[in-house]
Structure 1
């Protein structure tokens, strides 16, 4: 299996740095091929801007979507974007590893998504009609691949529980799981979350590695989160709302789970 690990933490000696090293060794020991995009070490440029689309007229108005579409179609993307897209196409499984900062991923990782997910690559693909609304949410360029988040959080697990002050972890991660990963076609595995990261001694670190190792060993067998595919009949098109007889007792994020 080919695994791409996209890693976003600025300190190699951190908990995340140690878990990154563990993940690479565990996967390689199992015979998997691993590529790593260490965004801070790469000095990854986070902002999406006009410099990402080569060959633009200097005085032309920058349109993030249309410029991205033209650059992708004409082979005029900046080299760093094209390299990351090649890694994604190579990978059978994508791992995104990051600390939960201000209830989301670090800005550098969000910038990786915004720049690498070009128009025509991760969105804007497929037929748009009264029967289909593009190849997305279960379909798309990255369909058939798997993805999993490895997330560290400083708060207690109870803080992210069903009645916790921070909100349920599944809800906080929904925009990443459903939007960033499921949208372009990934089968999204349940996340691996480490809580209360400021209270980790050697014994707890060993337990975390054991649990993470088991998840890594089962990447190919773990059942993905059961999101509803967009074009399989559950949604009205083009409104993209659930049919009245689907998930009648649910609303919000939960309604999009089967």
Structure 2
């Protein structure tokens, strides 16, 4: 299988750097083909702006969506964007690896999403009508592919528990897992979390690698998170709200998981 690992940490000698190297070796030893997009090493441009098209009318106001659509449809995207899109099309599975900084992904990885997920490539796909609101949330360009997060956090695991001060980790990661990965069609696997990263000795590091290795070995066997597909009947269209009889007692993110 083909695996794309999109990696966002500035220090190769960090825990993240070591785990990235471990993951690549584990996957390759199992016979998979791996490409790594090391965003800091690539000096990835994080900002979405007018420079993302090789030719645009400079007198026109910049519209992020329409400019993205025009560049994608007319072969005017910059080379760095097109190369990352090619990697996504090539991949059978995508892993996003990053430290949890200020309750989200590093800005460079968010910028990778904003620039690579062009209109017509990752969104704005399919019929939009009163009966169907596009190919998204379980459908779309990435349908049939798998995705997983590898995330490190400095806080203790209970800090991110159901009653933890930082909020439940599933809620914090929902915009990434549901909004960035499930939206364009990925089957999203449960995340691999490493907590309390400032207190990792050799013995704990060995246990982390053992657990991570097992998750990577099961990349094509692990059941994905059971997000509700948008166009399978659970949602009223075009309102895009759950039918009254679906999870009637649930509110918020949890209502969108079957």
TM-score normalized by the length of structure 2:
1.00
Shift of 1:58: 2.1
Which residue matches 1:112? 112
Q: Does 1:21 align with 2:25?
A: no
Which residue matches 1:143? 143
Q: Does 1:236 align with 2:236?
A: yes
Shift of 1:238: 0.3
Counterpart-to-counterpart distance in 2, 1:104 and 1:25: 27
Shift of 1:85: 0.1
Which residue matches 2:187? 187
Shift of 1:131: 1.1
Q: What is the Cα-based RMSD across aligned positions, in Å?
A: 0.4
SS in 2 for 1:96: strand
Shift of 1:61: 1.1
Which residue matches 2:176? 176
Bigger CA drift: 51-60 or 128-137? 51-60
Counterpart-to-counterpart distance in 2, 1:70 and 1:142: 21
Q: Does 1:4 align with 2:4?
A: yes
Residues 20-52 of structure 1: CA distance to partner in whole angstroms, max 9, x if unpaired? Answer: 000000000000000000000000000000000
Shift of 1:60: 1.8
Q: How does 1:200-211 map to 2 (within 5 A)?
A: 200-211=200-211
Shift of 1:73: 0.3
Which residue matches 1:256? 256
Counterpart-to-counterpart distance in 2, 1:140 and 1:53: 24
Shift of 1:84: 0.1
TM-score normalized by the length of structure 1:
1.00
Q: Does 1:197 align with 2:206?
A: no
Counterpart-to-counterpart distance in 1, 2:27 and 2:244: 45
Counterpart-to-counterpart distance in 2, 1:50 and 1:58: 8
Which residue matches 1:163? 163
- Between the two proteins, the alignment pairs up a number of residues equal to 258
SS in 1 for 2:4: strand
Residues 39-78 of structure 1: CA distance to partner in whole angstroms, max 9, x if unpaired? Answer: 0000000000000012112222111000000000001001
Which residue matches 2:69? 69
> Structure 1: which 5+ runs fail to align?
none
Counterpart-to-counterpart distance in 2, 1:61 and 1:176: 29
SS in 1 for 2:176: helix
Counterpart-to-counterpart distance in 1, 2:211 and 2:176: 22
> Structure 2: which 5+ runs fail to align?
none
Counterpart-to-counterpart distance in 2, 1:102 and 1:119: 28
Shift of 1:141: 0.5
Q: Structure 1: which 4+ aligned runs deviate by more than 3 Å?
A: none
Which residue matches 1:87? 87
